[in-house]
Structure 1
Amino acid sequence: MTGTGAKRGRPPAFDRAAVLDAATRLFWERGYEATSICDLTRAMGIKPGSLYAAFGDKKALFKEAVQAYGSSPVGAFMAAALDEERTARGAMARILREAAAAYPDPAHPAGCLTISAAVNVTEADDEIAAYLRDLRNANLGHFTARFTEAQRAGELSKDAEPAALAAYFAAVIQGMSQRARDGATADELRATAALALAAWPT
């Protein structure tokens, strides 16, 4: 016994990052429920046994795919804007602008993975629906926190409602994702973004 706890056996004969990217794109395009293990192994170029050995089951693979998406440029732009912009309004303007560019980008499936991947999940996979719902609600919480901070700093008036404002912009962003999946262009989404930002309290 070595006592290291390391797994024995040969390392996987594939590029883990590459096959995870293939799985992510497939989940993003089709959603969780409509993506089968057969679809995944075909897209990833591996056998079912290799998928289970490397990632566990379909749910575990999906969660890892979502995590990978969240650290990619198209998945991380909201957090970056909230962290980097000096004002809450500037952060939201950047988020809307970047969503308008990213969601219809033909370089990847349309829309946002965390918004669209669970729209067709059945009761048997409620865990996945709850997982994505929690991620979306976490973003809503980040918006609310940033807007509350802006109110304390005087950027928003005392009459403003940070939680309601956050819910409004979250709804707009989710709608932009769906519109992109329905074929909306970047120009259309930029117009939507401009109209949404006009609702910012003055």
Structure 2
Amino acid sequence: MTVRGRPRGFDADAALDRAVEVFWRQGYEGASLADLTEAMGINRTSMYAAFGNKEELFHRAVARYAEADMAYARQALAEPTAYEVIESFLRANADALTRADRPSGCLSVQGGLAEGGDSGRVAKFLADSRLAGERELARRLARAVEEGDLPAGTDPHALARYVMVVSEGNAVHAAAGVPRADLHATVDIALQAIPRSHAGAG
């Protein structure tokens, strides 16, 4: 018996991009294998051969999302001051959450909101992914403290957590239909709480 392989012209990246959108719109629990394979243009056998099971496919989709849709987060870390790092991240985040060509909100926030039969593994995986980004931001802010860009005594971990709370809160509101301008208004207020050194404040 011959097992059907991948369809001719199969593009793994394009199929993964379509899986990202399904998971993003429907969450991990809400995305059925039928939804995924239909969107990806492959059958279950091909999906398992190319990506593994549904959970493994989700891990691949989140990695793809982080690489493509969250590139702005890595770019923000290269800004010269802590304030610019945070502003760049939050502004780009607000824009990304409300792109016309993508689902509203954030895959890494919405993907695991519903508990299901996976014993919380997916929710924990997403939480760990978000915490990894938070730790990376905290390292950049710690450098800013050392360089005198942030006031002495600033807790870089607490500040990074604050920034992520703002971005994740905006993600929830964006998914509920809050428009981009309102998200940026929230960013305006959030930025007022960012500590700045005497030198940087001028």
Asked if these proteins are the same fold (TM beyond 0.5), I'd say: yes
Q: Supply the RMSD in Å over aligned alpha carbons.
A: 1.5
1:4 paired residue number: none
Residue 31 of structure 1 aligns to a residue whose secondary structure is helix
**Residue equivalent to 2:146:** 152
The answer for the alignment partner of 1:172 in structure 2 is 166
Q: Which moved more, 1:23-32 or 1:156-165?
A: 156-165
Within 1, Cα distance between the matches of 2:97 and 2:63?
18
2:74 alignment counterpart: 79
Equivalent residues of 2:6, 2:42 under 8 A apart? no
> Given the two structures, how large is their TM-score scaled by the length of structure 1?
0.90
Partner of 2:29: 33
Q: What SS does the corresponding residue of 1:124 show, helix, strand or coil?
A: coil
How far 1:10 moved relative to its partner? 5.8
Which runs of no fewer than 5 residues in structure 2 stay unpaired?
197-202
Q: Which amino acid aligns with 2:99?
A: D
Aligned residues of 1:12 and 1:54 also touching (Cα < 8 A): no
125-134 or 32-41, which deviates more: 125-134
* Mapping for residues 99-118 of structure 1, pairs under 5 Å: 99-118=93-112
Who is 2:199 aligned against?
Answer: none
Higher mean C-alpha deviation, range 174-183 or range 37-46: 37-46
Residues 1:134 and 2:128 are matched in the alignment? yes
Q: What is the number of equivalent residue pairs in this alignment?
A: 192
Shift of 1:195: 0.6
Given the two structures, how large is their TM-score scaled by the length of structure 2? Answer: 0.90
**Cα distance, 1:184 vs structure 2:** 1.0
Residues 1:192 and 2:186 aligned together: yes
Deviation of 1:11 after TM superposition, in Å, equals 5.5
**Aligned residue identity for 1:23:** A
Structure 1 residue runs without a partner (length 5+): 1-8
Match of 1:67 among 63, 66, 72: 63
1:89-141 residue CA offsets vs partner (Å, 9 max, x unmatched): 11111011111111011210111111211001325242222211111001111
Query: Is 1:112–1:177's contact at 8 Å kept on the other side of the alignment?
Result: yes
User: Which amino acid in structure 2 is aligned with residue 201 of structure 1?
Assistant: P
| 1:121 alignment partner, one of 88, 112, 115 | 115
